[in-house]
A and B are shown apart, each in its own frame.
Chain A
Amino acid sequence: QVQLQESGPRLVKPSETLSVTCTVSGDSISTKYWSWIRQPAGKGLEWIGRVHGSDNTIYNPSLKSRVTMSVDTSKNQFSLRLNSVTAADTAVYYCARGGGGSYYEYWGQGTLVTVSS
């Protein structure tokens, strides 16, 4: 079955870059869309953007200036980088299968990234 697993540093300093990677098993990332979604503690869900296996990307306009997404088809992974982070970027970061025009049936378990000095 399709499984997604996030990994990356759990603590990032303000003004630095947050990096999270999603490893996919049970599916090939090459031909599908993959999204990043985040959720601050006790709050709702925010779509960050999506990447296709061909490395085509679309970002949420609210974060576009700070976000970069990429794929590594050799490792069946895709990644998120968010620069110039502040405490407001502290959240659980989820990866999910699907693009901007999609519902999300498969999710990673989420990784909490805290921005703090």
Chain B
Amino acid sequence: EIVLTQSPGSLSLSPGERATLSCRASQSIAGSYLAWYQQKPGQAPRLLIYGASSRATGIPDRFSGSGSGTDFTFTISRLEPEDFAVYYCQQYGSTPPTFGQGTKVEIK
């Protein structure tokens, strides 16, 4: 199975700052089939990005994704107070689909 490694494990930033998260795959992900999710305590994950760079329905444009092959990046251009959460990447190019271990974006 494909192992996804996210970095950093946590990020301490202030509202208004830019957040850049990385997701590296143990092998190339077919079709750039990579998604990003946001999860807040006690809630299910929320889909933000699919196909490495396509925003899901209703997702603000401050969230963006890029990358291909084994290296992917997720960016929040200007952090809003509601953006502090844990973010997961997920590959669905091969079965079983797998998730990264998460990056926690904390308020500085």
Assess whether B45 is interfacial by the CB under 8 Å rule: yes
Determine whether the beta carbon of B101 is less than 8 Å from that of A44: yes
Q: Is B97 an interface residue (CB 8 A)?
A: yes
B16-57 interface with A by 8 A CB criterion: 33, 35, 37, 43-47, 50, 56-57
| A-contact bits for B78-103, CB 8 A (1 contact / 0 none) | 00000000001010111111111110
B43 proximity list for chain A (CB < 8 A): 109
A103 contacts B92, C-beta separation under 8 Å: yes
> Which of A9-17, A20-28, A79-87, A94-102 lies at the binding interface?
A94-102
- Could you say which of A58, A100, A103, A107 contacts B50, with CB atoms under 8 Å apart? A103
28 contacts between A and B (CB under 8 A): A44-B100, A44-B101, A45-B45, A47-B96, A58-B95, A60-B96, A61-B1, A61-B96, A98-B92, A100-B92, A100-B95, A100-B96, A100-B97, A102-B92, A102-B97, A103-B33, A103-B35, A103-B50, A103-B92, A104-B37, A105-B47, A105-B50, A105-B56, A107-B44, A107-B45, A108-B44, A109-B43, A110-B44
Binding site for B on A (CB under 8 A): 44-47, 58, 60-62, 94, 98, 100-105, 107-110
